[in-house]
Amino acid sequence: MSGLPALVVWLAPLLLGSGLWAAAVGWPRRGCALATVFGGGWIVGALCCGLLMRALSATDLSAGLARVGVAALAIGSAGWAVAWWSRERSPLHGPVAAPLRGGHVVAILILLALAWRAWLFATDITSHPTLPWDAWAVWQAKAKMWVLADHASPYVSFGRWLLQPQVDVRTTSAWNYPELLPWTVTWFAVDSGWIEPWINLAWLGLWAALLAAHYGQWRALGVSPIHALAGVYLLASLPLLDAHVALGGYADLWVAALMSFAGHAWLRWRETGEHRQLLVLAGIVALLPMIKLEGAVWSIVLGVAVVFGILPRRMRSKRFLIGAAVAAFAIVLCVTLSVPWVAVARRYVQDSIVFDGGRVGPSLHALANALWGQWNWNLLWFALPAALFWRRAQWSRSTAVRRMFVLVAVPLLLIVGLFALTAAARYAQSYSAVNRLLLQLTPMLVSLLVLVLWLPADQPAEPGLPADAAA
């Protein structure tokens, strides 16, 4: 790896994604709004670079650095130009949390702790190859073959592969899994070839960008700077999240980041009337199914949440039926288009519902043990229920907290139903599947905890507030 190509690999996602994000939500006029634009933009930009690799360089990966780099420069610059042209000229207004005494000292200490943690991650990641079995067997297998062959051969089923011995196709056990993450990995290998420690540093970038974006989101909702930084450290120090960073290769942290960004975009649209946040939400809903199969389920959940939000008041009594109809339509559409997650879901549910208790009991026990009996989450699953009970009088009057609570509760109930009432119950007792699904909701859960504890109760959101007014 050399300096300039490596710089392009890391800066192209930042320019591309931040340009798209700024074009969607508007020109950021506060420093903390930049944290969201650059943090969320880097993650979205990295995934978009994967899409560009597939579109522009599938037959010649060695040309990907130049082609995708130029495309990212053009699209990102155009996005920033659109943001500048459409910037709002109205004065900033809205709730601004008062600074805490001694806040600068606390902030410096938190930032130093985060920097030290990032250094430990970097030294760990660069000291070993990809270790998780499903990372090198599933998520990086296609990317490795493409990089080594310098072109992308399609992956097909085993039977089809046997019938086409003369055709340049390949097969693997996960041949029908979404390919956006392998293409993103291919982008991070385009400057140096297949060097796994260097490629897996992308997960460190994902971690840093995730933290920056959440700081900006919490500030935009009215959380004070110190409390937002405390929430950032809480999120950054969760053991299972840290394991997914140090053992780069898993797809779940990418899904978690996008799910949280979409949740916050929905919340800011509902709370402050920022209609342009719906553009961010729409982009993320499109990306989620391209990363992992369950991303399609989360996209349906988010789509139903949007339908609830746009229904006129006279129809809100029927919104459950309308939401169910929208979800059913989305599922029928996925079945019609042969979306891969449908086949996997059918395999899980084909044994139907389990009512005998023989599998429900152990599954629920394993799920409870994953939440409260293991040390994957620090005290998150103890602190969140305690905070909800302790601050019940305050958060019950906050529409922001109530909306985030519902948006988190629905996916959690789906996970409980999946592992308690379907054939997937047998996977609950292995803990790995449970923990990875829970990780996909963890940033939103931490956000709920931050809002419950520190969202000012005397500063209600104002409709029509500019996108970065509270930053």
Neighbours of 47 (CB within 10 A): 26
What's the confidence (pLDDT) of residue 225?
92
Contact 175, 156 (CB under 8 A): yes
d(CA 248, CA 132): 8
| Mean pLDDT along residues 382-411 | 91
8 Å CB contact between 216 and 32:
yes
- Read off the tokens for 467: 């996108």
φ/ψ of residue 170, rounded to 5? -130, 170
Q: Decide if pLDDT at 457 tops 70.
A: no
Q: How confident is the model at residue 325 (pLDDT cuts 50, 70, 90)?
A: confident
Q: Decide if pLDDT at 430 tops 60.
A: yes
Average pLDDT for the chain: 85
Check residue 158 and give its pLDDT: 87
CB 306 within 8 A of CB 323: no
Q: Which of 158-162, 322-326, 343-347 has the highest mean pLDDT?
A: 158-162
- pLDDT tens-place string over residues 45-75: 999 999 999 999 999 999 999 999 999 999 9
133: number of Cβ within 10 Å: 9
pLDDT at 101: 60
- What is the spatial distance between Cα 45 and Cα 113, in angstroms, rounded to a whole number? 27
Dihedral sign computed on CA atoms, order 69, 70, 75, 79: positive
Choice between 213 and 309, residue whose per-residue pLDDT is larger: 213
pTM: 0.90
pLDDT at 449: 96
Is residue 469 within 8 Å of residue 94, measured between CB atoms?
A: yes
pLDDT at position 94 is 42
| Residue 317: pLDDT band with limits 50, 70, 90 | low
Residue 121 near residue 245 (C-beta atoms within 8 A): yes
Q: What pLDDT does 189 receive?
A: 95
Determine the pLDDT at residue 358: 56
Q: Which of 20-34, 149-163, 421-435 has the lowest mean pLDDT?
A: 421-435
> What are 108-121's pLDDT values in tens digits?
999 999 999 999 99
For 173-201, how does the pLDDT look when each residue is reduced to its tens digit (9 = 90+)?
888 889 999 999 999 999 989 999 999 99
* pLDDT digits 0-9 by tens, 336-378: 655 655 555 555 455 444 444 556 777 788 888 888 888 888 8
Interval 76-91 mean pLDDT: 83
251, 291 Cβ separation under 8 angstroms: yes
> Please, are residues 383 and 234 in contact by the beta-carbon 8 Å criterion?
no
Averaged pLDDT, 253-260:
97
Number of Cβ within a 10 Å radius of residue 252: 21
User: According to the model, what pLDDT value does residue 466 have?
Assistant: 42
Q: Residue 219 burial (CB < 10 Å; 0-12/13-18/19+)?
A: buried
**Domain segments of the chain as ranges:** 3-85+112-454
